């Protein structure tokens, strides 16, 4: 389960797609970029169980950004 998930637009012009995000997973902080095409680029370490974590991020971003 992801904890303390947060995101913000990459650009000052919030109409441009692209977001940075951060969260804790298994007591470790991870950061990345969520690109307009749904790809995720890790800006730090890659979390274990990466595929499961990516699914959770996609669900959160769909709920918050594309609502």
Q: What is the pLDDT of residues 49-67, one digit of tens each?
A: 999 999 999 999 988 776 5
Lowest mean pLDDT among 1-5, 9-13, 28-32, 42-46: 9-13
Count of domains observed in the chain: 1
Other residues' Cβ atoms within 10 Å of the Cβ of residue 19: 18
Beta bridge partners of 62: none
Q: Does 15 score more than 80 pLDDT?
A: no
Long-range contacts of the stretch 54-59 (C-beta < 8 A, 24+): 56/1, 56/2, 57/2, 57/5, 57/21, 57/23, 57/32
Domain of 36? 3-64
Please, are residues 12 and 29 in contact by the beta-carbon 8 Å criterion? no
Considering the entire predicted model, what is its pTM? 0.86
């Amino acid at each position: 389960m992801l904890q303390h998930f947060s995101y913000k637009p990459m650009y000052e012009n919030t109409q441009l797609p692209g977001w940075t995000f951060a969260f804790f997973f298994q007591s470790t902080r991870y950061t990345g970029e969520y690109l307009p095409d749904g790809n995720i680029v890790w800006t730090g370490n890659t979390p274990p169980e990466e595929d499961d974590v990516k699914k959770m991020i996609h669900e959160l971003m769909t709920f918050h950004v594309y609502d």
